[in-house]
Amino acid sequence: MTGEIWVLGATGRVGREAAERLRQAGAEVVVTGRGRERLTQVSPDARAVTGSLDEVCARLATEAPAVVINTVGPFAVTAPRVARACPPGTHYVDVANELSTFELLHDMDREAAATGRTLVSGAGFGVLATESILLHLLADEEKPSRVRVDAIASVATEPGALGEALAATIVHALLDGGREVRHGRMVRTLAGGAAERLTTPDGDVVTTASLASGELFAAWQASGAPSVIGASTLAPANPAVRAALPAIGAALRLPGLAGFATRRLARITATTAKERPRRSSWGRARVEWPSGRVREGWLRTGEGMEFTVGAVTEVALRLAKGEGRPGAFTPARLFGPEVALAAGAEFVVTG
């Protein structure tokens, strides 16, 4: 393992825990953020680079670390900016889940390949969990006709404000609306559609619905199926709320309203910590082939954010060791579904 690993947004939960895991693994870690005092508090043993995102990007472009981890949302804005700032030979990984982020980085595939860079988007719970169980089911199989993946996260809540980065990500997801793959093409649909009530292998009953998400993009790329749905428990379970999502997204497109909504959301504060609502987080895939044969499988892990930290750390360490290849990828398409096992998951194939 050679060269530094930079962690952008190192004062947030994923950033600070990833920095600590990397340090424990023997990596040379550099933490970045706006305030040196907070960076020193959360990562006292790491070198700190402070400044705005543009200032940090200028520094990484000249210092050329081995790997850059981006935990700063909204990723549809920050991901292409940071990825383009990475000089030849510097690899990039993030924990994005906005569909537009994956499309933007996918469009940079040839550029990345020509400059010896690996760009990995979605090294977090939803994308890695669902694409890994999907690829596990598809091993040595023909191309399927239909695929549905469902991300069922169980996440503990820390006390404190929601924060502008997460708030901006939520607002951007509402602006993206709904998407599905139909007849081999990505098409617009109603956000919160294709609702399905599922019972996990633990016996928990949850409702998932479709969104414009990284899970959808990753499942389509992994399977090549002409019909793909990416669903999540992040979509509202209440039918009335789901029905209102298109109107909410349209309203947010009015001048200035998206910024106003982001600022208001960012100030929402949790006064106490809350335990995760379910024992396990799950990634589920259902695959149907032209013959009519159907298989279903589940990936089990623990708290969703802990898995995300493990995932982005595992991917960054592999990139730093030179195990990637140039181009733009999702994590399991680059390293195989076993990368999810290394991050702390297990497969539960039920059919």
pLDDT digits (tens, 9 = 90+) for 150-204: 999 999 988 887 776 677 777 877 777 789 999 999 999 988 889 999 999 999 9
- pLDDT the model gives residue 167: 78
pLDDT score of 243 more than 90: no
Find the mean pLDDT for residues 207-227.
96
- pLDDT the model gives residue 1: 60
pLDDT score of 53 more than 80: yes
* Residue pLDDT, tens place only, 292-326: 999 999 999 999 999 999 999 999 999 999 999 99
| Alpha-carbon span 205 to 191, nearest angstrom | 21
pLDDT score of 4 more than 90: yes
Tokens of 324: 């990637």
- pLDDT the model gives residue 196: 96
Residue pair 29/7 in contact (Cβ under 8 Å)? The answer is yes
| Alpha-carbon span 41 to 13, nearest angstrom | 13
Residue pair 220/228 in contact (Cβ under 8 Å)? The answer is yes
pLDDT score of 60 more than 80: yes
- pLDDT the model gives residue 271: 81
DSSP 8-state secondary structure symbol assigned to residue 25: T
- pLDDT the model gives residue 127: 97
- Cα 169 off chain centre by: 11
- In 3-state terms, what secondary structure has residue 290? coil
Q: In degrees rounded to 5, what are phi and psi of residue 149?
A: -120, 145
Nearest to 89 by CA among 121, 63, 115: 115
Lowest mean pLDDT among 33-42, 240-249, 261-270: 240-249
Lowest mean pLDDT among 148-162, 258-272, 286-300: 258-272
| Alpha-carbon span 138 to 329, nearest angstrom | 18
Query: Which value, to the nearest 10 degrees, does the dihedral of the CA atoms of residues 77, 79, 82, 88 take?
Result: -140
| Alpha-carbon span 83 to 117, nearest angstrom | 9
- In 3-state terms, what secondary structure has residue 261? helix
pLDDT score of 113 more than 90: yes
Tokens of 63: 């210092």
- Percent of residues, the chain, with pLDDT higher than 90: 77
Where is pLDDT greater, at 4 or 256?
Answer: 4
Nearest to 43 by CA among 57, 67, 65, 23: 23
pLDDT score of 65 more than 90: yes
Tokens of 49: 């680079």
DSSP 8-state secondary structure symbol assigned to residue 226: S
- Percent of residues, the chain, with pLDDT higher than 70: 98
Nearest to 294 by CA among 303, 302, 285: 285
Confidence band, pLDDT 50/70/90 cuts, at residue 228: very high
For 163, 181, 298, 349, 351, the CA distances from 292, given in Å and listed in that order, are 46, 19, 20, 18, 14
- pLDDT the model gives residue 237: 65
Where is pLDDT greater, at 80 or 255?
Answer: 80
Tokens of 260: 């106003």
Where is pLDDT greater, at 168 or 71?
Answer: 71
Confidence band, pLDDT 50/70/90 cuts, at residue 234: confident
Computed over every residue of the chain, the mean pLDDT equals 93
**Cis upstream peptide for 159 (omega within 30°):** no
- pLDDT the model gives residue 149: 98
